[in-house]
Amino acid sequence: MVSLVNNARLRRHFQQRLLSWYDRDRRQLPWREDRNPYHIWVSEIMLQQTRVAAVQGRYRRFLQRFPNVEKLAAARESSVLAAWSGLGYYRRARMMHAAARIIVKQHAGRLPVSSSKLFTLPGIGRYTAAAIASIAFDEPTAAVDGNVERVIGRLAGTNLRGEDLWQTAQKLLAQENPGNFNQALMELGATICLPRRPRCTVCPVFHVCRTRSVLPMHKPFSRQKKEAVHYALHCQNDLTFLVKRPGDISLMPEMWELPQIESAAGAAPWLTLRHSITATDFRITVSKIQVRPTAGGRWVSRRQLARMPLTGLARKILRAANVI
């Protein structure tokens, strides 16, 4: 790697190989269709901790609902959370909404063009600031996410961390095409240099890689916790009874869900499914039973459901029941 980082000719060759591969073989994804800074920002926030497949459909729908930063800033938080439903990690949506208001108020509705200014906005960390600035504004700044960290570590044959990692990424960056280069490294990590089984035989930069699958540099798999949760689905005509999650919890505060019950209370479960949130695998059972309306809950019509911030799991269950 010392030679790749410090040898200008080899580095150039590596950049060209990677960029040509990206031009030729990259996945067609909706956020790669234009370089609108707002679109790139939305996609980068959605893609944090969420799979590409889950983001694809929701990205377009979100942009239909909030086509520009002004519309997002003017929206009510509950509408933004409703549009985010199913993507999880709702704090991202709240921060994006707060940042949109700052952009409208302090930057005349335009995203700042430099990574250092973007970094000052809520919800935009070092990686996201660099990704937006390089992709939308051609700023020659390396963007290091988990995929890039793994790829660079394997290219180097050693795990790099912190500033060493960022500086190495910066040295490798193709200065004249930073947006595509950053995306190419991420794409390589997402499709070829995979965490558990890197596909080295089809890797476009195999010839400069120190590892070539010899060192499986992946973190050990963390064990998922398992938990069983029971919900009641209580519908009356057009109405469904839902409860609001407390505002002071870290996971999905103030989102709406079905009422939880101790057990199926003798009723045969109508639906069982699995649902994963962060480090927990939930075994969910849903019973169609009547519950006593409680404080923090309310009857909601089908029309209202469409605009409510529902948890992803509640949405899944209500879809299965043909309520939405």
Would you name the residues annotated as active-site residues? Answer: 44
Instruction: Based on the shown chain and the rule CB under 6 A, indicate whether residue 154 belongs to the binding site for ligand SF4.
Output: yes
Please tell me the distance from the alpha carbon of residue 153 to that of residue 167, in angstroms, as a whole number.
13
Instruction: Based on the shown chain and the rule CB under 6 A, indicate whether residue 82 belongs to the binding site for ligand SF4.
Output: no
Cβ(4)–Cβ(14) under 8 Å?
Answer: yes
Instruction: Based on the shown chain and the rule CB under 6 A, indicate whether residue 193 belongs to the binding site for ligand SF4.
Output: yes
Residue 268: Cβ-neighbour burial (10 angstroms; 0-12, 13-18, 19+): exposed
Describe the chain by its helix, strand, coil percentages, rounded to 5: 45, 15, 40
- Enumerate the H helices of 162-249 as residue ranges: 162-172, 178-191
What residues pair up with 229 in beta bridges, in sequence order? 284
Instruction: Based on the shown chain and the rule CB under 6 A, indicate whether residue 36 belongs to the binding site for ligand SF4.
Output: no
In the complex, minimum distance from the CB of residue 154 to ligand SF4, in angstroms, rounded to a whole number: 4
**34: phi then psi, degrees, rounded to nearest 5:** -150, 175
Segment near ligand SF4 (CB under 6 A), from 100-108, 190-198, 246-254, 284-292? Answer: 190-198
Among 151, 160, 184, 258, binds ligand SF4 (CB under 6 A): 151
- Measured from the CB atom, the residue of 105 and 199 that comes closer to ligand SF4 is 199
Instruction: Based on the shown chain and the rule CB under 6 A, indicate whether residue 212 belongs to the binding site for ligand SF4.
Output: yes
Q: Strand, helix or coil at 272?
A: strand
Please tell me the distance from the alpha carbon of residue 6 to that of residue 301, in angstroms, as a whole number.
64
DSSP 8-state symbol, 310: B
Q: Which amino acid is at 318?
A: L
Instruction: Based on the shown chain and the rule CB under 6 A, indicate whether residue 206 belongs to the binding site for ligand SF4.
Output: yes
Among 5, 155, 185, 286, binds ligand SF4 (CB under 6 A): 155
Instruction: Based on the shown chain and the rule CB under 6 A, indicate whether residue 153 belongs to the binding site for ligand SF4.
Output: no
Instruction: Based on the shown chain and the rule CB under 6 A, indicate whether residue 192 belongs to the binding site for ligand SF4.
Output: yes
**With CB under 6 A, what is the number of residues at the site for ligand SF4?**
15
Instruction: Based on the shown chain and the rule CB under 6 A, indicate whether residue 152 belongs to the binding site for ligand SF4.
Output: no
In the complex, minimum distance from the CB of residue 223 to ligand SF4, in angstroms, rounded to a whole number: 26
Instruction: Based on the shown chain and the rule CB under 6 A, indicate whether residue 209 belongs to the binding site for ligand SF4.
Output: yes
Please tell me the distance from the alpha carbon of residue 4 to that of residue 67, in angstroms, as a whole number.
42
Binding site for ligand SF4 (CB under 6 A): 151, 154-155, 192-193, 198-200, 203, 205-206, 209, 211-213
